[in-house]
Structure 1
Amino acid sequence: MSKQQGYIIVTGAAGFIGSCMVQYLNEKGFNNLIIADDFGVEEKRRNWEHKSYAHVVERYNLFDWLIMHEPYVDVVIHLGARTDTTEFDYAIHQELNVEYSEKIWQYCVDQNIPLIYASSAATYGAGEHGYNDDHNVVDSLQPLNPYGVSKNEFDKWALKQVVTPPSWAGLKFFNVYGPNEYHKARMASVIFHSFNQIQQNGEVKLFRSHRPDFKDGEQLRDFVYVKDVVKVIYWMMEKMQPSLASRQSANTGSSATQHASFINGLYNLGTGTARSFYDLAAATFRGVDKEPNITFIDMPADIRDKYQYFTEANMQKLRNAGYTDIFYALEDGLDDYVRNYLAAGKIW
């Protein structure tokens, strides 16, 4: 494949955000994808098998495969990770979220390839230092679980590197929701669980607050629709590799936009507006045209002291970098997700 037609690597491509990324790239005319993940997980098969791609590579074979085939790659979108916040064996997170990511980084350095990778708002812990994607606070952050620790450890490692990919960004995902998350079980969004509870019992059970400063159901999170997440990643990809925008415009007949040089670093990716879990559950009821019926249950003891009661992304850095599109409001994103995917039994 010529340098004018390089590949795009997407890791985590069988998972929630990764499979949505592949779908978005397909819709933008990109089929020259190398997708990597653990493809032996049967319940994820629906997420990836009908999408368009050039090569499927098992995640543990990726680096050997790259050495063997030497593909020309335009950009790496690294979304693969162990995302279970209730997995307390740090060695698992260390291997998949830190060491594997370091190998991805080194590959991008060696091959001079731009890198976009998934970090997480879990790095912010209880929010003692706010939710600002300021590099100066990264060393002071105190995540509440091993997953958040692993994501923060890689962020810290990346910021200390003298030799870097030509362009790179670590995106601190806040509470992402949307289609293709059905396989995540306990880790799926509250929207997914709320929809299923409504279908089964006609009610939604939310966690009771175990802090006096928050009423039941009034815990606040920054919920961001996955369609916005992949849209931001695509925008970053074009900023890092303007030739991709030119190629896509040639395919679609649209005019290409040349971008200024990209500023490397960490970026928040939320909406910038915190909303309550009660609002979320009530909007899910509206998505199935029912009146809210919400009750409260105790939070499981194993996550009670590791639970974020408030998150809200400061989005100014992304805006300063030039991203101007409006994010889905919670009600609009949720209505699209519930009506067009959950209720319809479809993936994206």
Structure 2
Amino acid sequence: MIVVTGAAGFIGSCLISRLNAANFRDIVAVDDFSHPDKAPNLEGKAIKERVHRDAFHEWLAKHHEATEFIFHIGARTDTTEFDRAIFDRLNVAYSQELWQACCRYQIPLVYASSAATYGLGELGYRDDESLIPQLSPLNPYGDSKNEFDIWALNQPEKPFFWAGLKFFNVYGPNEYHKGRMASVIFHAFRQIKATGKMKLFRSHHPDYRDGEQMRDFIYVKDVVDVCYFLMHHRKNSGIYNLGTGQARTFLDLTRATFHAMNVQEQIEFVDTPADIRDKYQYFTEATMDKLRSIGYDRPFHSLEAGVTDYVQQYLQPGAYY
């Protein structure tokens, strides 16, 4: 059996689709299944068993011999949440208990870290593990992910294979439920469909013109391909960036969305909200040499190709992956 935590969420549900496509059908889906807006993410997928996240550690103690691999994707990911106790419980303590179980039962583990750990990028965006203790995330979510990364690196006992993946700006199908935390592509599609135009944040940084703030946007299909590769690779444990390695502007993204929708471009600029202005990242770009060095050689979708696939195959028909 292969376990996926956060199974009903965005990346977790897409990962199950990727595993199903490769004929892996004994999937154990772990999540809090009480949110009805996530239910469509799992419809039609081959899942052997659903386990509530609060019961999972007990379940694993009973079924570890049949568990081949664990993808720990589940986490509290709201960057606007400032109750650190929530992150301590769901992102740190829960992950620590799972790590220790993987050591005890000798189960390989891939877990979700985040590019939010890099903060404003004062030290760059290199997945150099020696730099991780020096990083300064901008919010409790980023702090929780960095805290677990540091804890994992310092453990004397580790799973025989493990990898932490620093996801950059992931977009794609099955994020319908995420509200404000959904990707800019998702919000652009909704705005353009409703109003025929898109509003972007104005730049408040002298080095960037309006709309030219840059992010490393990665299509979720590329993310789950990397997860699938690591499930088979099972060596070169460590923490890896997962972006495309090429930063693109929000103007690029918005224009690609207009083009995919076959709508004439109309873009307006609004002030960045004051509550996030001092925590706003103007540039992120993953260095991808480390992942490439262990043999991952598949190309990533260009922003234009990813946005076109997302808009035309999923957003316009309201489809799920």
With normalisation by structure 1, the TM-score equals 0.91
Which of 251, 260, 276 aligns to 1:278? It is 251
1:299 and 2:272 aligned? yes
| Mapped pair 1:145 → 2:118 | no
* Equivalent residue in structure 2 for 1:287, among 244, 260, 263: 260
Q: Aligned partners of 1:163, 1:125: CA distance in 2, in Å?
A: 29
Distance in 2 (alpha carbons) for counterparts of 1:90 and 1:300: 22
**Counterparts of 1:165-180 in structure 2 under 5 Å?**
165-180=159-174
Aligned ranges 1:32-51 → 2 under 5 Å:
32-51=26-45
Quick one: which of 288, 301, 310 aligns to 1:337?
310
Question: 1 CA distance for matches of 2:164 and 2:60?
Answer: 23
User: CA offset at residue 75 of structure 1?
Assistant: 0.7
Once the two structures are superposed, the pairs formed by residues 1-348 of structure 1 within 5 Å of their partners are: 7-240=1-234, 262-348=235-321
Once residues 134 and 89 of structure 2 are traced to their aligned partners in structure 1, the CA distance between those partners, rounded to angstroms, is 23
Counterpart amino acid of residue 335 in structure 1: T
Task: Give the whole-Å Cα distance in 1 for the aligned partners of 2:288 and 2:64.
Answer: 37
3-state SS of the aligned residue for 2:4? strand
Counterpart secondary structure, 1:51: coil
Alpha-carbon RMSD across the aligned residues, in angstroms, is: 0.8
Between 61-70 and 37-46, the greater mean CA deviation after superposition:
61-70
CA distance in structure 1 between the aligned counterparts of 2:266 and 2:54, rounded to whole angstroms: 45
User: 2:125 and 2:60 mapped to 1: Cα distance?
Assistant: 37
> Which runs of no fewer than 5 residues in structure 1 stay unpaired?
1-6, 241-261
User: Partner amino acid for 1:89?
Assistant: D
Per the TM alignment, residue 104 of structure 1 is displaced from its structure 2 partner at its CA by: 1.1
Instruction: Output one character per residue of 1:49-84: Cα deviation in whole Å (capped at 9) or x when no partner.
Output: 321111100111111222344551111000000011
* Deviation of 1:291 (Å): 1.8
Q: Name the amino acid aligned to 2:226.
A: V
Q: SS of the counterpart of 1:109? A: helix
Letter in structure 2 aligned against 1:129:
L
Counterpart secondary structure, 2:68: strand
More displaced stretch, 331-340 vs 295-304: 295-304
Change (3 A) 1:220 1:154: same
Counterparts of 2:237 and 2:85, CA distance in 1: 29
Note the C-alpha offset of 1:306: 1.2
Q: Which residue matches 1:3?
A: none
Distance 1:236 1:198, change over 3 A: same
* Contact 2:65 2:105 (8 Å CA) reproduced: no
Query: How far is the alpha carbon of 1:22 from its aligned partner?
Result: 0.4
Distance in 2, matches of 1:166 and 1:231, equals: 22
CA positional deviation for 1:280: 0.2
The one-letter code sitting in structure 2 at the alignment partner of 1:311 is: T
Deviation at 1:85, TM superposition (A): 0.5
Equivalent position amino acid for 2:59 in 1: W
Give the AA of the match of 1:31: R
Equivalent-residue separation in structure 1 for 2:273 and 2:13 (angstroms): 30
Amino acid at match of 2:38: K
SS in 2 for 1:267: strand
Matches of 2:102 and 2:16, distance apart in 1: 20
Deviation at 1:107, TM superposition (A): 1.1
* Amino acid corresponding to residue 329 of structure 1 in structure 2: S
- % identical equivalent positions: 58
CA contact (8 A) 2:28 2:50 kept: yes
Query: Displacement, 1:115?
Result: 0.3
